[in-house]
Amino acid sequence: MNQAELCSLLEASPIIAAVKEEADLPLCLSTDCAVVFILCGTVTTIGEIVARVKEKGRVAFVHLDLVRGLSADEASVEFLAGQTEVDGIISTKHSLLKRAKQLGLMTIQRFFLLDSMALENVKKQSASPDLDFIEILPALMPKVIAKLAGQVRMPLIAGGLIEEKEDITAALAAGAVAVSSTKAGVWGM
């Protein structure tokens, strides 16, 4: 899968199920969400979690920074690429995403927008050929989403604090291609 294919998939199904507890995986897989962000697991369970997502025909992204037992180094990226069926990696660490891209995985860099310096950092990092998407958190800032959507070259995913349909609509109207949420009630909207 490449960026254009994933954008097309997200256009048809713009809600991404972000699973933060393994116990929520069955509920996630019973929804129509085509893309799953895996924000949980351990080094011993991540392969099985990814396999369950893939068995249901979903696109699986693993947030490398949140898998217990994996360190923040290239060996962890190589492990996921070689030992699981993962489609892509999410991380706040650009060096890990660079390695993931070298291994043929899709990449999403997650940014927490806390101030104007963080906003400038997103603009700088977005010039990297190693990124397919950027995810900005929190998503409840349509004005900032609109500004970034006009300034960065890759598609934006808005995540964080999405709880109501109005949140989804506002983020998509502002220019996000999709929203990610850990709230199971959002997954079916």
Sign of the C-alpha dihedral computed for residues 51, 57, 61 and 67 taken in this order: negative
In this predicted structure, the answer to whether residue 113 has a pLDDT above a threshold of 90 is no
**What average pLDDT does this structure show over 104-123?**
89
The residues near 107 (Cβ < 8 Å, ≥ 6 apart) are 88, 89, 90, 97, 100, 101, 130, 131, 132, 133
Give the CA distances from residue 107 to residues 2, 97, 145, 166, 174, in Å, rounded to whole numbers and listed in that order: 10, 6, 19, 28, 22
Query: Tens digit of pLDDT for each residue in 78-107?
Result: 999 999 999 999 999 999 999 999 999 999
What CATH topology corresponds to 3-179?
TIM Barrel (3.20.20)
pLDDT of residue 178: 96
**What average pLDDT does this structure show over 172-186?**
93
Extract the tokens encoding 28: 């996630």
Q: How far apart are the C-alpha atoms of 100 and 125, rounded to whole Å?
A: 16
Radius of gyration over every alpha carbon of the chain, rounded to an integer in angstroms: 15
Looking at every residue in the chain, the average pLDDT score rounds to 93
Q: What is the pTM of this model?
A: 0.89
More confident residue, 57 or 126: 57
More confident residue, 128 or 103: 103
In this predicted structure, the answer to whether residue 18 has a pLDDT above a threshold of 90 is yes
Q: How far apart are the C-alpha atoms of 28 and 51, rounded to whole Å?
A: 14
Extract the tokens encoding 20: 């933060």
pLDDT of residue 163: 86
What percentage of residues in the chain have a pLDDT greater than 90? 76
Q: How far apart are the C-alpha atoms of 72 and 61, rounded to whole Å?
A: 16
What percentage of residues in the chain have a pLDDT greater than 70? 100
